[in-house]
Chains A and B, each alone.
Chain A
Amino acid sequence: MLKKLENIGTYTLTGLEQTGRTFNLLLLVLWELARPPYRFYTIVRQIYFIGARSLSLIVISGVTIGMVLGLQFYSILERFGSVNLLGAGVALSVIRELGPVMTALMVVGRAGSAITAELGIMRITEQVDALECMAISPNKYLVAPKVIAGLISVPLLTAVFDSVALFGGYFVGVVMFGVAEGSYMNGMIDAVEWEDVRLGLVKSVIFGVLITLICCAKGFYMHLTKAGSQGAEGVSFVTTDAVVLSSIAVLFSDFLIGAIFS
């Protein structure tokens, strides 16, 4: 019993400690970003890795989600005889919720895990130490470009996701089920306010920073945790951890942002 309590205490403490380190990393990154030299090329390369390389995944999942939504909304709305709301339903759920969340989760799975593994390996093979000894700040050189790339890529990917998802919904509703094109489009245009777009944008920006930051911190600070002494196995631990943690962070902050903005 006492042992269990003790365990809970330990978990809470490590949790708090890691959260603190992650936010500390954010501050360090912001500080480093403010100072020259500015690494446009490194950032571009990271945007390519996080953003461009995730594009096909985002397009495929976006179309699929849009089609699924079209299907579900159609069968529900048909019961109430209000299929003219189909466009509005699909558009609002994609732009407000599913677009940012699904995109963030996809990026976590594809790029986030790779970020953690890369930084973790660099840490245990002393590459991070080597950078520091060369008087090159690892925060600036390794972490900051990734966080910036996340900040830029995730909103852009979300925009792509949103548009292809709307197309997917259109395809199912208008092409497959024969909903009038005019009512689909007008319903959508009437329903979606600037507020909805802004909510989606805010979410995707926050998710972009959050997931890259968590994934970077997990790998970068690997040596400070138990996994640090476990070599390759430790890298796999922190990678799994990072994926789970950033997914939860996305879902939870999605709720928080939704609650704050409405």
Chain B
Amino acid sequence: MSEARLFLLQRLTALVMAPLVLVHLVLIVVAVQGGLTAGEILGRTQGSVFWGLFYGIFVLVAAIHAPIGLRNVLREWTGIGRRPIDWLMVAFGVLLLVLGWRAVVAVVGGGA
């Protein structure tokens, strides 16, 4: 993928993430009022299409956004070649996606 496309993708995903991050942070602050239990969290999230979509999209854009930035950091700060970095970053993105979506399924899924 071209540098211009990655540049655009990084900015578009940032645009999507900005409100998601805000909601996520506010949610944390609200949720921890009066203590936090696994049961309470699952009670809110299980079966919720809204939170499933919310965090599903969050994970997707983060999995696109983070490797693009990390790619630049690795290019500048390590001696790893450009090709290997690109493949590493594809793998990193997939890893984020799999771990993230697995977590989303775990908290939103029916609790079976």
Q: Do A and B bind each other?
A: no
Chain B residues within 8 Å of A, Cβ to Cβ: none
Chain A residues within 8 Å of B, Cβ to Cβ: none
